[in-house]
């Protein structure tokens, strides 16, 4: 699919979500709060050693909407992937919600009968997820938790300082 088609599909989804997204739920706020606790303390990441203390993340509605796009996709398809609707990437989804930053990433998790702390512990035990969660260049974030027929999707979108 051409980039224009991918961006169009993601933009349409983002516009539908713009009126649907409200303040983050308590569970979503807990994810960001716990992530900020981890960043403030520094952490030992498997395979990466001690990660330095990193600054607190600023939560934004744009980041939460980008996270929600992927969480909705994962919840409806059961696919645990960074590829989203129309083949979109985390950076394309973030741009579609108004995030304009040089660096954008997302961390994802999906499971049954889990809670925000279980997702956080899984991420912290994963070398790749732990590393990116604690990367100092990321300054902004938003989270989404969507319960689907095949499990609950947890997504956090992180970005560097918006341009």
pLDDT tens digits, 83-94: 998 999 999 999
CB 43 within 8 A of CB 81: no
Tokens standing for residue 18: 């713009």
pLDDT band at 114 (very low <50, low <70, confident <90, very high): confident
As a whole number, the mean pLDDT across the chain is 87
The DSSP 8-state label assigned to residue 85 in this structure reads: G
pLDDT tens per residue, range 55-78:
999 999 999 999 999 999 999 999
Residue % of the chain over a pLDDT of 70: 86
Closest CA to 108 of 59, 61, 158, 62: 158
Q: Distance between terminal CA atoms of the chain?
A: 28
Strand partners of residue 7: none
């Amino acid at each position: 699919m051409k980039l224009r088609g991918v961006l169009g599909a993601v933009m349409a989804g983002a516009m539908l979500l713009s009126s649907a997204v409200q303040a983050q739920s308590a569970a979503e706020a807990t994810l960001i709060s716990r992530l900020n606790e981890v960043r403030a303390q520094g952490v030992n990441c498997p395979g990466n050693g001690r990660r330095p203390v990193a600054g607190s993340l600023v939560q934004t509605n744009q980041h939460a909407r980008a996270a929600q796009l992927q969480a909705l996709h994962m919840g409806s398809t059961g696919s645990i992937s960074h590829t989203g609707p129309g083949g979109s990437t985390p950076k394309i989804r973030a741009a579609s919600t108004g995030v304009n930053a040089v660096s954008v990433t997302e961390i994802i998790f999906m499971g049954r009968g889990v809670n925000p702390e279980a997702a956080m512990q899984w991420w912290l035990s994963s070398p790749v997820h732990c590393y990116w969660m604690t990367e100092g260049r990321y300054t902004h974030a938003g989270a989404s938790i969507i319960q689907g027929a095949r499990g609950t999707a947890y997504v956090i979108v992180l970005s560097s300082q918006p341009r």
